[in-house]
Structure 1
Amino acid sequence: MMIFREHRAILLYLKFIQIIFTIIVLTTELVQYVVFSSLKADSPDIIAVNQFINNEYKSIKILDNIVFLLNLITLGAYVFNFKKIWNKGPYLCLELFLAALWFTSAIGNLDPVYGRNPAQTCSSAITSSLTIICSTWITSVVFCWLNMILLIISVFVTWRVGQEKRKGIYHKPTVKPEVKNRTSQRQSVLFKQGLENPDKSQPVMLESGIKPLMLVQLANT
């Protein structure tokens, strides 16, 4: 079984990917806003766009973007102070908080699905403006839920690391039997040679490297 506390790069890589996905989501949200703001009142798709992005959805998007930006800042600070956070934690409460925030925003981003038919609206697009809004919305939804999955994985990894630290679980390197026997034989030979030919000026270091053995003292006892 993998010991997660010995593979801190896993959590670090997860945070880097989460930052990339968050940037992608924020970029798509920005593109949606720019395209929507540039639509003119006489645009052939203005009615469809207003049905797709109604006043309620606009309010949700403001909250979503605040959460996305807050997550990005928090993740950046997390990566910047990762070594300190890893040594002291990592903090499960923080991971749960980020996952909960992102989950509410991911649900909110699905608002056009409830009560409206985005597929039908997008398929009937006449101008490129509505097509861009639809494609960026789909991209945003996909990466929102991909990031949600990564956050859940982060919560699991953080929980496992905490469990391993509390239980004192770590990897104990094992020595192969043949290596152990060979080392023991070499130590025996060195020990015998030291007793037969003691050199009072040179201590002998056992191959195990634990501590020097003064063969002269052993020979005189």
Structure 2
Amino acid sequence: MYKACIFDLDGTLLNTLHTIAHYSNKALEHFGFEKLPLEKYQVLCRLSYKEYYQTLLKFGGCPEDRTEELFDQVGRFDHQAYLKDALYLTKPYEGIKEILEKLAEKDIILAVLTNKPDHVAQEVIAATFPDTFDLCVGQLPDKPAKPDPNALLRVVDLLGLQKDECIYVGDTDVDIKTANGAGVFCIAAAWGYQPIEMLEKNEPDVIIHRPEEVLTYYR
């Protein structure tokens, strides 16, 4: 029987796409680059911290020889602005709060694993789902990021569980690769940022279309 449900954050628990685009576009403008359309952020949201800002700068017109110099500066500017109002344009997907309550009623351990920087993830989760999750793990400089399966295995270990006691729910190919590499049952969330064709191609254990379908695996 599964004892824990580990969720991705952006595109799985929360619709943050407009929020991310808003602040990252402000960062691009501040450093003299072009703003990006929303669909570019659907691509970017899959990436780790370094890959995100390097690709953001590339899409925004930054010369390739300057991305290494600027990506961390742009990241810091973006995060400082984001944390001033992290909930701007952000909202949980319909049905998410209800499913978390039902899982908690079943004494299922709830956790978050995200490539969002850890201090940002902690702020966002505390503000949107207070006293809901037993553990939230964001990206730290000295720890592996998704799709490295060790990122998920570390969370399983922190929960004091075995990998076959956990389910991971995410909305991207990166999430599926992470779970499959770790040997953790993977549920792909079709309501997120990636097309269903991408999810199918990466072979999750199951694809669901509504949050309440998660409950099927905890009966």
**TM, length-normalised to structure 2:** 0.27
Larger radius of gyration: 1
TM-score under structure 1 length normalisation: 0.26
* Structure with bigger RCO (C-alpha 8 Å, 6+ apart): 1
